[in-house]
């Protein structure tokens, strides 16, 4: 099953303005005549690709988009002003269909690409245009035609911007629950995550990203131990990795340094590309230790690993530090280049059936 972000919106193009019936009557001008102008065209509604958007979450707040109608024509051969078009920004890879008929209207794949989804009405004709040699004083005009009105179904196959890595029970599922509305299973035993989970992290209008949680890696995963490394393919298009480390491991589990080295070895065995990707250390379960001990363990870990990247301390269970982490991730993602979809709809996962829909 594909993980699909969906939304329904109502789009209404503007009606065309009506033509005018008018006759020229001026003092000292013996002969008048029809001078009614045409109406203006109605505004249309376009969907526009925006590489800065990652999800359809904004459409849960605003669901109706209406373009201006065209103004009516006026006397003295004055044409009515056309309605202003509406441009609705959507993430790259958004598929659009008519919600009532199911008709496919197209797909937005490139930054700045425009897709017409509701055409504005055609302008009405004023009586000046009806004048002829046999009809010197026409009194007819035509109204503008109605603009298109339809309900759209938007569909976006989500690409994870941020991937979570770590040993089983490092707190990845708890973190994705804390950051987003996703609700993966959380339990005190290994491999509670059996399928990749995605969550949408929303920090306000036009500011959101997608985070992916995959099953935990253990030593020998590249050789098939545990659940193996096949789920690492789902992180192939992520732009940033969060490496979760359990600051308060049980006696029978590896210490923090061993946790990091184990995952790094499995990443290297899977392929060097993921290991070379930007990776942040997230020291989880800080609520289980005194603040002084947390600081000491952080200092020792950074020194032992010779770590020069970002390090965050948080508690996924209590939420402490997760809001600041989400804000920092959003700012970093906004600075990183956006991977344009080279597969229609953004489907880049080798086995789309492995995605598990949550939101």
In tens, the pLDDT along 155-187 reads 887 677 888 888 877 788 888 888 876 554 443
Q: What rounded mean pLDDT belongs to the chain?
A: 80
Q: What is the pLDDT of residue 262?
A: 85
**Collapsed DSSP state (helix, strand, coil) of residue 47:** strand
Same domain, 166 and 245: yes
* Confidence category of residue 54, pLDDT binned at 50, 70, 90: confident
Same domain, 17 and 148: yes
Number of domains in the chain: 2
Q: What is the pLDDT of residue 67?
A: 96
The span from the CA of 187 to the CA of 174, in Å, is 9
User: If you search the block for the tokens 């789309």, which residue do you land on?
Assistant: 352
What pLDDT, in 10s, does the model give residues 3-41?
567 899 999 999 999 999 998 877 766 567 899 999 999
User: If you search the block for the tokens 């958007």, which residue do you land on?
Assistant: 53
What pLDDT, in 10s, does the model give residues 208-266?
888 887 665 544 433 443 333 455 665 666 789 899 998 888 776 778 898 888 888 87
Q: Which of 143, 114, 137 is nearest to 39 (CA)?
A: 143
Same domain, 149 and 212: no
Instruction: Give 266-284 as a DSSP string.
Output: HHHHH-HHHHHS-EEEEEE
The span from the CA of 351 to the CA of 2, in Å, is 9
Domain boundary among 115, 134, 157: 157
Residue 304 has pLDDT above 70, yes or no: yes
Same domain, 133 and 175: no
Q: Would you say 192 and 174 are in contact if contact means Cβ atoms under 8 Å apart?
A: no
What pLDDT, in 10s, does the model give residues 310-343?
999 999 889 999 999 999 999 999 888 765 444 3
Helices (H), the chain: 172-179, 256-270, 272-276, 291-305, 322-335
| 359 in any annotated domain | no
Same domain, 237 and 302: yes
Three-point CA angle 142, 147, 148, nearest 5°: 145
Residue 190 has pLDDT above 50, yes or no: no
Domain boundary among 132, 157, 182: 157
The span from the CA of 157 to the CA of 3, in Å, is 6
Q: Which of 334, 338, 279 is nearest to 159 (CA)?
A: 338
Q: Which of 113, 108, 349 is nearest to 235 (CA)?
A: 349
Domain encompassing residue 235: 162-354
Residue 57 has pLDDT above 90, yes or no: no
Q: Would you say 5 and 55 are in contact if contact means Cβ atoms under 8 Å apart?
A: yes
Task: For residue 280, give both structure tokens.
Answer: 């942040």
**Collapsed DSSP state (helix, strand, coil) of residue 167:** coil
């Amino acid at each position: 099953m594909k993980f699909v972000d969906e939304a329904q919106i109502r789009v209404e193009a503007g009606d065309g303005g009506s033509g005018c019936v008018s006759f020229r009557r001026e003092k000292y001008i013996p002969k008048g005549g029809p001078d009614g102008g045409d109406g203006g065209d109605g505004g249309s509604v376009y969907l526009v690709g925006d590489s800065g958007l990652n999800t359809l979450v904004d459409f849960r707040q605003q669901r109706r988009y209406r373009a201006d109608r065209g103004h009516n024509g006026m006397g003295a051969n004055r044409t009515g002003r056309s309605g202003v078009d509406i441009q609705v920004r959507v993430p790259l890879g958004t598929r659009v269909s008519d919600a009532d008929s199911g008709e496919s209207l197209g797909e937005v794949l490139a930054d700045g690409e425009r897709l017409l989804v509701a055409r504005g009405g055609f302008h009405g004709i004023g009586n000046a245009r009806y004048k002829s040699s046999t009809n010197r004083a026409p009194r007819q005009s035509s109204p503008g035609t109605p603009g298109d009105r339809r309900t759209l179904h938007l569909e976006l196959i989500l690409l994870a911007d941020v991937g979570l890595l770590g040993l089983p029970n490092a707190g990845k599922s708890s973190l994705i629950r804390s950051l987003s509305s996703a609700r993966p299973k959380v339990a005190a035993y290994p491999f509670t995550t059996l399928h990749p989970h995605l969550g949408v992290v929303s920090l306000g209008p036009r500011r959101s990203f997608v985070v992916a949680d995959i099953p935990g890696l253990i030593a020998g995963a590249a050789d098939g131990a545990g659940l193996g490394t096949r789920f690492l393919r789902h992180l192939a298009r992520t732009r940033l990795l969060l490496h979760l480390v359990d600051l308060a491991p049980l006696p029978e589990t590896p210490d923090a340094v061993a946790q990091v080295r184990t995952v790094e070895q499995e990443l290297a065995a899977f392929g060097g590309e993921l290991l070379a990707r930007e990776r942040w250390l997230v020291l989880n379960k800080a609520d289980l230790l005194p603040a002084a001990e947390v600081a000491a363990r952080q200092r020792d870990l950074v020194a032992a690993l010779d770590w020069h990247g970002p390090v965050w301390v948080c508690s996924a269970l209590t939420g402490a530090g997760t809001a600041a982490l989400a804000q920092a991730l959003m700012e970093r993602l906004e600075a990183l280049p956006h991977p344009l979809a080279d597969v229609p709809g953004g489907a880049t996962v080798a086995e789309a059936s492995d995605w598990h829909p949550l939101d």
